[in-house]
């Protein structure tokens, strides 16, 4: 995976669900200190016979850019129509994680920036892994 930050810091990481004309869509969002909001689609897949869950996502792509004051609260407000929740177990520098025993946990709704993971000390690893391919 290539480094999508372009020198910026990660300020927020959310999971999302949005109702479109044809179906529900799920994925994750990142807010960068540059004001860029990135989106990737995906989520969990449960394998009933094995009773296990795997999370798998597409590549990150730019959704929009905030102008002016870049804050988590402002970005969250600008995502009206998206149901925001805390992110799942997939690292932001990976496309997939799992399998884990059982089904996926119920999403925890996002209510304040204090709930979000702190990425200030996270060492991201952008080394290409042939087993970690994006969902197409």
Amino acid 66: pLDDT: 93
Taking only the tens place, the pLDDT of each residue in 53-109 is 888 999 999 999 999 999 999 999 999 889 999 998 888 888 888 888 887 777 888
Helix (H) or strand (E) holding 18: strand 10-19
Phi-psi region of 42 (alpha: psi -120 to 50; beta: other; left: phi over 0): left
| pLDDT in the model for residue 135 | 67
More confident call, 1 vs 70: 70
How sure is the predictor about 118, in pLDDT bands with cuts at 50, 70 and 90? confident
What's the pLDDT at 134?
75
Q: What residue has token string 């969902």?
A: 135
Q: How far is CA 9 from CA 43, 117, 126, 128, 131, in A?
A: 24, 13, 15, 21, 27
Domain regions of the chain by residue span: 10-115
pLDDT of residue 130: 67
**Which ranges of the chain would DSSP assign to H, the alpha helix?**
72-78
What average pLDDT does the structure give for the chain? 86
pLDDT at 37: 96
């Amino acid at each position: 995976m290539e480094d999508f930050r372009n020198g910026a810091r990660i300020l927020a990481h959310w999971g999302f669900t949005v109702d479109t004309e044809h179906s529900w869509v799920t994925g994750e969002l990142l807010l960068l200190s540059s004001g860029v909001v990135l989106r990737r689609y995906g989520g969990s897949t449960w394998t009933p016979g094995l009773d296990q869950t795997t999370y798998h996502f597409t590549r990150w792509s730019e959704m929009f850019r905030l102008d002016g004051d870049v804050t988590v609260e402002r970005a969250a407000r600008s995502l009206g129509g998206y149901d925001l929740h805390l992110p799942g177990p997939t690292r932001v520098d990976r496309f997939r994680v799992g399998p884990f025993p059982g089904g996926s946990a119920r999403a925890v709704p996002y209510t304040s920036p204090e709930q979000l993971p702190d990425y200030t000390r996270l060492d991201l690893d952008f080394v290409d892994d042939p087993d970690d391919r994006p969902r197409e």
